[in-house]
Structure 1
Amino acid sequence: MHATNLRQDAGAAGQFDPITFLQAIVAIDSCDPPGGELDVAREVHQQLLALGIESELEEFLPGRANVLGRVRGLGEKQGLVLSAHMDTVPAGTMPWRHDPFSATISNGRLYGRGSSDMKSALVAMISAAASLAARKSLLKGDVILAFTAGESANLLGARRFIERGLKNEIGAFLCGEPSGLDIVIVEKAALWLRATATGRLGHVSGDAGINAITTINGFLARLAELELNCVAHPLLDGPTIRVGRIEGGSAVNLTPDRCFADFDIRLPPGADHLAVIRQVEEIAPETVSISVLDFKPAVESGSNEPFVRLCSEVCTRHIGREPALKGVSYYSDATVLLEGLDVPFAIVGPGDLGLSGQPDESVSVDNVLKAAQIYADIAEVWLSC
């Protein structure tokens, strides 16, 4: 592990082509697994320094690195965090028309893994920061660029930022996850549980034993019918339960004495996750135990909060329509960086959520350029008032 701090080169500020730089970092494979965002982080770090923006690169695990950039304001107000992650999901096995790391531009769209989710937002944030650096005397607080590794690996980079005290500086939070330049103001909570069934080992030619896989199957059938007690949210669908992993047995001719199933429950804000755990435990037989793997809280801003209204006004000006206010089932780095904080939050990103993780993932070049202007305007207005 090591941290790198270098001096900024103020003379290079403003010399930045966001689309060319986006092509450069989309061409770098930062799929997770296995991760390895370090090469992207190095490019981002050096680009920030070249633009006259303070930057720190920290390789907090081998091959896993965060970048923390900063345009310093007057110190009269807490900072505005612009949040993006540098890892992507794998390219997958389905065929692509454009190579996933070619960063090809065709018909106004840039193709490649991570183009939509979410290297395009990261580049737009760098462009916005370069613009803001030229007028930082107007900013009462810092613009903080929080670029993370391992977002898909249980938010590794965001958790590292917490260890380093970033949470204490956050006055508002703007994330660039894909939104089509609409505004997301609510994320569901994610509750990960494991059900473990205990049986009795046996041989199929003799004592059949008690089959733990059969027990888990019965439990999962009841789980699929479980109605969770949650208050509906106007911007979200209902709670969901999805089984993601099942493991059990050691040989085809042995009755398995142990089997577990991991499942993901998504909950709206305000849902009592401890009560949900109790509901799940109530349908489990005595031979099935329930354990908590992780809980990521929901994140929400009110539609009438000043920060959300500002985001809406700025987006309207740049995209020529009033952006929709939306809720999403996914979680972002905000779930850990904002836990326990009462600060405004929004997601505005140039990418399209429906393209995330898909073959021929792409982003509108025009949206990337608009996002850069949107981020700069939101930051300037928010930090100057």
Structure 2
Amino acid sequence: MDLFDAEWEQQGKELFRDLIQFDSVNPPGNEAPVANYLAKRFAEAGITCQILEKSTGRCNLVARLSSESKRPPIALISHLDVVPADSEQWTYPPFSATERDGFIWGRGTLDTKQLTAMQAMAFLALKKYELNRDVIFVASADEEAGSHFGMEWLVKEMPDLQHSGLIISEGGGFPIVSNGRTYMLVAAGEKGVCQVTLRAEGDTGHASCPPLNQAIYHLAEALRRLTTHHFEEKYSQLTRHFLIETGLNPCEKQMDRSVLSSLMQYQLSDTLTINYLQVGDATNVIPKLTEAQIEFRLLPGTSRGEIEQLLNEKLVDLPVQWTITTFEEGYESDTDSEILRLFEENARLFGFQGDLLPFLALGRTDGRFLCAEGASIFGFSPVLLDDSYEEALKRVHNNDERISDQSFRFGLKVFVKSLLDLCVEK
């Protein structure tokens, strides 16, 4: 069997379908069976694995291919858990990996067992060569529920996972078409997250005779001031590159409503949403206490101090208390990278006609836990237009999640060849 021939492709697809057939829905997780399956496949190729668990059944698999090089390593990371799936709402059972109409159907086909399969096949291929750097494989637990049993815990157990090298994660690889041009998105950064609890206290009483000093009024005014705040636009290296490549102009008064334009807007400023409100539990009683939880999504570089300053300025004269409950900084990677050039080159080699487009990814991934100084973190699991960015947004975490057979085969070849080109000693 030769790399990239039909037999090798089929082997990769069967590994992928095997992964889909493990029910690793989170909650409860139960990543142990799929982690043990991968460990067995690696052991058959002579690769030693570690399986670490914070709690019984919540397994994280780690393996390493060592080299004689002192170069910083590359880490291939994905997660084994998936979100719930209601089988009654699916065309085919969500853990059957059914092949119909040119697609492989199943929970995790786009988030992210397709990436796990691509990375596993790359890891197995790299085992056969002398490498110019260490390669680390991590398939973690609990990403879909905050990573508390997964990467967040794992990096404390294995601090060497945080390094200044290269990390390939999820969040990119999806094509997008705009103004006659085709791009393949590659995640090159993520916004940070700051969650804040607001609490207001006032007088209570019967609703038929409401007091003037009401907690709900104070909270409402605090939320009004914060949600109407105008966040200034910021232009990072990544954002400027995105604007140059796409030709989009944020100064145009009438922007189109394309997905690409929405991505541009997302990358230009911090944002704020209200996640939760608690304003009493009886219809005829004015509540004494009210509470809201808000969430800032912060561009890389926005500091905790800036959020504290904003909260102080906006709420200084209101009887509202605020507490920052979580703060995680965003990150942005240098796009002048050899691996990005290889991804683009090999995507074209295997039939993609377009350009790679780095962007600031939506959401948060496990890459944030490995963000050591000097590290480059990219999200990339390449697919074809059958699984475009717009289509992926409709399917991920939804009923009838699926990936086209041709997309998976394409992505498998692009990913594996790029890793061989990068990591094999010439």
1:286 alignment partner, one of 294, 318, 343: 318
* Aligned residue in 1 for 2:119: 125
Counterpart Cα distance in 2 of 1:94 and 1:217: 41
* Aligned residue in 2 for 1:192: 195
Q: Compared with structure 1, are the counterparts of its residues 258 and 32 closer, same or farther at alpha carbon in structure 2 (3 Å cutoff)?
A: farther
1:266 alignment partner, one of 281, 297, 311: 297
2:327 alignment partner, one of 283, 287, 295: 295
Q: TM-score, normalised by structure 2?
A: 0.78
2:285 alignment partner, one of 254, 271, 276: 254
1:336 alignment partner, one of 351, 355, 369: 369
* Aligned residue in 2 for 1:5: none
Q: TM-score, normalised by structure 1?
A: 0.85
Question: Could you tell me whether the CA contact under 8 Å between 2:382 and 2:414 is conserved in 1?
Answer: no
The CA deviation string for residues 217-258 of structure 1, in whole angstroms up to 9 with x for no partner, is 332232221112341434442332222222342433432222
Aligned-pair distance for 1:209? Answer: 8.0
* Aligned residue in 1 for 2:411: 371
State the secondary structure of the residue aligned to 1:117: coil
1:210-221 correspondence runs (5 A):
210-221=213-224
The question of 1:313 aligning with 2:345 is answered: yes
The question of 1:177 aligning with 2:210 is answered: no
The question of 1:144 aligning with 2:131 is answered: no
Q: Compared with structure 1, are the counterparts of its residues 283 and 167 closer, same or farther at alpha carbon in structure 2 (3 Å cutoff)?
A: same
Amino acid of the residue matched to residue 165 of structure 1? P
1:220-239 correspondence runs (5 A):
220-232=223-235, 233-234=239-240, 235=242, 236-237=264-265, 238-239=269-270
More deviation in 317-326 or 82-91?
317-326
Aligned-pair distance for 1:132? Answer: 1.1
More deviation in 243-252 or 142-151?
243-252
Identical columns (%) = 22
Counterpart Cα distance in 2 of 1:154 and 1:255: 35
Counterpart Cα distance in 1 of 2:146 and 2:21: 24
Counterpart Cα distance in 1 of 2:14 and 2:408: 12
State the secondary structure of the residue aligned to 1:283: helix
* Aligned residue in 2 for 1:7: none
Aligned-pair distance for 1:173? Answer: 0.9
Amino acid of the residue matched to residue 226 of structure 1? H
State the secondary structure of the residue aligned to 1:226: coil
State the secondary structure of the residue aligned to 1:120: helix
* Aligned residue in 2 for 1:155: 147
More deviation in 226-235 or 325-334?
226-235
State the secondary structure of the residue aligned to 1:32: coil
1:84-123 correspondence runs (5 A):
84-91=78-85, 95-123=89-117
1:338-357 correspondence runs (5 A):
338=371, 340-350=372-382, 352=389, 353-354=392-393, 355-357=395-397
Amino acid of the residue matched to residue 167 of structure 2? F
1:22 alignment partner, one of 16, 24, 30: 16
Q: Compared with structure 1, are the counterparts of its residues 33 and 144 closer, same or farther at alpha carbon in structure 2 (3 Å cutoff)?
A: same
Structure 1 unaligned blocks of 5 or more: 1-13
State the secondary structure of the residue aligned to 2:137: strand
Counterpart Cα distance in 1 of 2:58 and 2:136: 20
State the secondary structure of the residue aligned to 1:110: strand
Counterpart Cα distance in 2 of 1:62 and 1:359: 29
Amino acid of the residue matched to residue 283 of structure 1? K
Question: Could you tell me whether the CA contact under 8 Å between 2:171 and 2:187 is conserved in 1?
Answer: no
Between the two proteins, the alignment pairs up a number of residues equal to 369
Amino acid of the residue matched to residue 147 of structure 1? A
The CA deviation string for residues 305-333 of structure 1, in whole angstroms up to 9 with x for no partner, is 33332332233323432433132222211
Counterpart Cα distance in 2 of 1:225 and 1:319: 46
Counterpart Cα distance in 1 of 2:63 and 2:124: 11
Counterpart Cα distance in 2 of 1:106 and 1:366: 12
2:420 alignment partner, one of 354, 368, 380: 380
Counterpart Cα distance in 1 of 2:215 and 2:94: 42
Q: Compared with structure 1, are the counterparts of its residues 207 and 107 closer, same or farther at alpha carbon in structure 2 (3 Å cutoff)?
A: closer
Question: Could you tell me whether the CA contact under 8 Å between 1:125 and 1:375 is conserved in 2?
Answer: yes
Counterpart Cα distance in 1 of 2:334 and 2:286: 53
Question: Could you tell me whether the CA contact under 8 Å between 1:112 and 1:362 is conserved in 2?
Answer: yes
Aligned-pair distance for 1:133? Answer: 0.9
Q: Compared with structure 1, are the counterparts of its residues 344 and 91 closer, same or farther at alpha carbon in structure 2 (3 Å cutoff)?
A: same
Question: Could you tell me whether the CA contact under 8 Å between 2:276 and 2:294 is conserved in 1?
Answer: yes
State the secondary structure of the residue aligned to 1:130: helix
The CA deviation string for residues 84-123 of structure 1, in whole angstroms up to 9 with x for no partner, is 1112223269932223222211222211121101111001
Aligned-pair distance for 1:204? Answer: 3.8
